[in-house]
Amino acid sequence: MTLIKSISGIRGTIGGAVGTNLTPIDAVTFAAAYGTWIKQQREKDTYRVVVGRDARLSGEMIQGLVMQTLVGMGIHVIDLGLSTTPTVEMAVPMEHADGGIILTASHNPKQWNALKLLNAEGEFLNAEEGQKILDIATSNQMTFAPVDALGKVTKNEAYFGLHIEEILGLDLVNIEAIKKAKFKVVIDAVNSTGGIAIPMLLDALDVDYIKLYCEPTGHFPHNPEPLKEHLTDLSEAVVKERADFGIVVDPDVDRLAFMDETGEMFGEEYTLVACADYVLGKTPGNTVSNMSSTRALRDVTEAHGGQYEASAVGEVNVVAMMKKNTAIIGGEGNGGIILPELHYGRDALVGIALFLSLLAERKVRVSALRASYPNYFMSKKKIELTPDLDVDAILKAIEVAYRHENPTTIDGVKIDFEDSWVHLRKSNTEPIIRIYTEAKSQDEANTLADRFIGELNALAHK
């Protein structure tokens, strides 16, 4: 079993020994460290933190521990209960809170959970802030409030509705066109909170839907990562119901993928491409995605007269680059849509609204829309190395060997060839190098990945 402490939060498997799994002790320690950090940001009479969770089985237990720890520190808690990551992100500034905690392990299986931490803007903490919380947790220098200064918990279940209201208020969302289109879709929400939020959004847009795995029980019916091999039930349902397309999200509703009317995947990488195509067609501007995302976003952005730039992997890095370049849309190739006009966080709900608007205005089937975009194919592989190897030195050797290709080194090594690219980056938690490639065919992408696996292995055994 596993416990991973990183600058982006703490995640692990439920049960087991303290310090090696996500136990109640670990949840309390980390929540107290976060509460301490919140108080260090500015001196106030009262502090407020928003807390919400996805539907996984351990969520209620972990949320109770986290909230009562904050109460013990004299911090007031706004309890959203079952929620989504983007809903919590939006609730923090709307509540004028000092921060937020989302209890979710995203696409990880049911035995996992995590504490994901937000600042007062409702955005993920940066590396420096995350490291401070890790240091506080390690130092065990947390101070709790006396009995007369304990915090209080206030439940607020209005934020799904408020989140959807904000989406419907965007000029980009063509409500009239969507309602006229009379779409029919199938939703796979992996029995988590997307099963609550997505029907609410579709009801507001007069979209007919069939619910597949939309009961927020936390019993995931398949691997919750929205990949083709996990979605055979959705594929069959889309065809059987003669739906216009299928919608699938991960447990905390920040990743979004579509399935076309034939039951084929639209491509998780192309969720952002399609939404960006729509937004750029309305409001010219710049885009950002991470270095491991498809080149198709660059192509679409440049076709609209904008500029594209790639950031290091990680939502906080994408957001920082978007702010720097005043990007009007961005995100990650794992189906994460970030629309700054709404908030700086990946949001599957706004992605659904933008995608529906695009389809309604163009009056095109999903398969035809996908065929209209540049066609790239990805390979995602990894190699495991022995712990004694110097991974940084191996990546440096690759950088030197390909210096004539002007590699990018802000996050591992990325080499852009004329018709393909390869991105090599090390894991922060394991002796692993991840190899991402993209090319004009699947065979070319796989061959390129295998070539670099061979080169990395040769360097590792020198």
Find residue 415's DSSP bridge partners. Answer: 422
* Structural domain count, the chain: 3
Last residue of a domain, one of 103, 123, 157: 157
206 plus 353 within the same structural domain: yes
Structure tokens at 31: 């929540």
Catalytic (active site) residue 106: yes
Q: Which among 165, 160, 205 is positioned nearest to 184, based on CA atoms?
A: 205
Q: Rg for the chain (alpha carbons), in Å?
A: 22
- Burial call 258-285: b when 16+ CB within 10 Å, e when fewer: bbbbebbbbbbbbbbbbbbbbbbebeeb
Q: Which among 334, 345, 352 is positioned nearest to 194, based on CA atoms?
A: 352
| Residues 342/329, Cβ–Cβ less than 8 Å | no
State yes or no: pLDDT of 1 exceeds 70.
no
Of the candidates 106, 289, 311, 379, the residue annotated as catalytic is: 106
Could you tell me the CATH number of the domain that includes residue 145? 3.40.120.10
The predicted pLDDT at position 432 comes to 82
Q: Which among 316, 296, 320 is positioned nearest to 308, based on CA atoms?
A: 296
429 plus 316 within the same structural domain: no
pLDDT digits (tens, 9 = 90+) for 174-222: 999 999 999 999 999 999 999 999 999 999 999 999 999 999 999 999 9
311 plus 445 within the same structural domain: no
107 plus 231 within the same structural domain: no
264 plus 405 within the same structural domain: no
pLDDT digits (tens, 9 = 90+) for 398-434: 999 999 999 999 999 999 999 999 999 987 656 688 9
169 plus 307 within the same structural domain: yes
99 plus 10 within the same structural domain: yes
pLDDT digits (tens, 9 = 90+) for 89-98: 999 999 999 9
Domain hosting 446: range is 377-460
> pTM for the whole thing?
0.94
Dist. CA 298–CA 288, nearest whole Å: 9
Dist. CA 49–CA 67, nearest whole Å: 9
Last residue of a domain, one of 340, 371, 402: 371
Dist. CA 353–CA 279, nearest whole Å: 11
Q: Which among 257, 254, 251 is positioned nearest to 273, based on CA atoms?
A: 257
365 plus 440 within the same structural domain: no
The predicted pLDDT at position 461 comes to 80
Element (H, E) at 19: none
pLDDT digits (tens, 9 = 90+) for 277-336: 999 999 999 999 999 999 999 999 999 999 999 999 989 999 999 999 999 999 998 899
- Burial call 324-357: b when 16+ CB within 10 Å, e when fewer: ebebbbbbbbbbbbbbbebbbbbbbbbbbbbbbb
Q: Which among 99, 83, 47 is positioned nearest to 158, based on CA atoms?
A: 83
Could you tell me the CATH number of the domain that includes residue 440? 3.30.310.50
381 plus 402 within the same structural domain: yes
286 plus 359 within the same structural domain: yes
State yes or no: pLDDT of 74 exceeds 80.
yes
Dist. CA 189–CA 218, nearest whole Å: 10
Strands 256-259 and 75-82: unpaired
Q: Mean pLDDT, to the nearest integer, of 169-175?
A: 98
204 plus 339 within the same structural domain: yes
Dist. CA 191–CA 179, nearest whole Å: 27
214 plus 249 within the same structural domain: yes
Last residue of a domain, one of 107, 130, 157: 157
The residue to which tokens 């190395």 are assigned: 385
Structure tokens at 115: 């504490």
| Residues 202/211, Cβ–Cβ less than 8 Å | no
List Cβ neighbours of 51 (8 Å cut-off, separation of 6 or more).
63, 66, 67, 70, 77, 78, 79, 80, 88, 100, 101, 102, 103
Q: Which among 404, 405, 424 is positioned nearest to 416, based on CA atoms?
A: 405
Backbone angles phi, psi at 448, to 5 degrees: -65, -40
Dist. CA 90–CA 118, nearest whole Å: 11
Looking at the chain, the number of H-run helices and the number of E-run strands are 15, 19
